[in-house]
Structure 1
Amino acid sequence: MYWVALPMWADNPDAETVEPREYRVWLTPGQAYPIDGVRYDAVPTYPLRREEPTAQAVDRWAWKIQWTPAIGCRPAAPIVHVWDCEEAPRDAEELDVFAALEVLRSPGAVPCTECGADVALGPLA
């Protein structure tokens, strides 16, 4: 298997521009082969450096639970938020990703769409 970095373009909505981004993907030897007539001696080859996690990277995986009240015959349901979401209860316990996913398995549970919990946890749930 080969680790390949491909140049891509991505929208930057804050600056209203398009900028280059790097997209990395694993390829098998059958998928990654030299193209006839192309020289590869100028292509940089170096190992990726493993970066130490920062406080922000650690915080990003903290989650909080907000319970909606029971109304009529509908039971109370949890909403999973990113730890710093405006809607998240300030005094709620911070959970790790596994605990947040366990909460999402309960009936009626939903991830918050305002803070991006649905984007972060949706594919995992």
Structure 2
Amino acid sequence: MTTTPSDGPAAPVPVVVVLPDGQELTARLWARRETPRGWLYQVGLPAYRNTEDGDVQAAEYRVWVRAPEHVRPVDGVSYDAVPTERLPPPSSVREVLGPRRPSGWVLQRAGGGRGPGRAVLHAVDCEEAPQGAPLLPLERALNVAEQPGTRLCSLCGAAQELDPLLRGFDHIEGG
């Protein structure tokens, strides 16, 4: 959260920023960045700052905001010259295999009690996985899977993914 003097290098292009309370300000667009979660725009909001000698000076507060939720274009302004970082194109392997499944495992206890009992281990994105259950990393999921009364969900593929790690690859058909 730093401020910089407003008389910096060449002026970037104007953009409208929507503040959390719904107010709209004209700010300066410094850069754009594509991320896996969407676009971010670095904007400079007009502000004031106090100098060391107690004076007040025009300044700019720079912050990254989500687009298009927090920014709008200004009519008639070209954004072609704004420095833009784009994600690298997806690898051909990723295109063929598709997006990766989220990592982690979720335990669903039968009967809602603690201690030994029946439980089902699901992949985190399984439709049958309980909402809000803690996420288990692989090592912890393997420890839980070895406990008596725990079964691996076949709907989400937990059984196919964890069985070879628990029992070795020799027991798989054709292996």
> How high is the TM-score relative to the length of structure 1?
0.48
